[in-house]
Amino acid sequence: MNTKKVLIGGIVGGIAYFLMGWLIYGVLLMDFMTSNSTAGVMKTQDQFIWSALVVSNLIYGLLMSYVINAVGHITSSGKGAITAATTGLLVVAGYDLGMYATSNVSTMNVVLADIAAVTVMSFIAGAIIVMVSNKIK
């Protein structure tokens, strides 16, 4: 496995996650997520811990880049997108359903919306990661 490809793909993937997260959660789903979550759970943007959010997105990017590169021989954006979408779906579904089962943080509607959002974000990030990785020697 090429460590340079994993790191550069991960950073670019993390940036893609951050930007898509802003669009999907910060614009498209903000009202839905707020109205379907337990009162007081969602922070306003001025309360965000931005450093943790940036690191979180970089970790997702690195995870997807690692998986794509570990599987090996993924050189098409389509295969990278499907691999990342599948990984994202499994990771977020496992986490969200566990939280739903053991806490009062959100509703099943939020869980389903989050699973869909992360799957879409992972699909796009996976395609981007493969495009970038293909350019690295």
Span 84-104, pLDDT tens digits: 999 999 999 999 999 999 999
pLDDT of residue 137 exceeding 90:
no
Question: What is residue 18's predicted lDDT score, i.e. its pLDDT?
Answer: 97
Question: What is residue 36's predicted lDDT score, i.e. its pLDDT?
Answer: 87
The two structure tokens encoding residue 82: 């499907």
Question: What is residue 37's predicted lDDT score, i.e. its pLDDT?
Answer: 83
In the structure, what pLDDT confidence band is assigned to residue 73 with cuts at 50, 70 and 90?
confident
pLDDT of residue 41 exceeding 90:
no
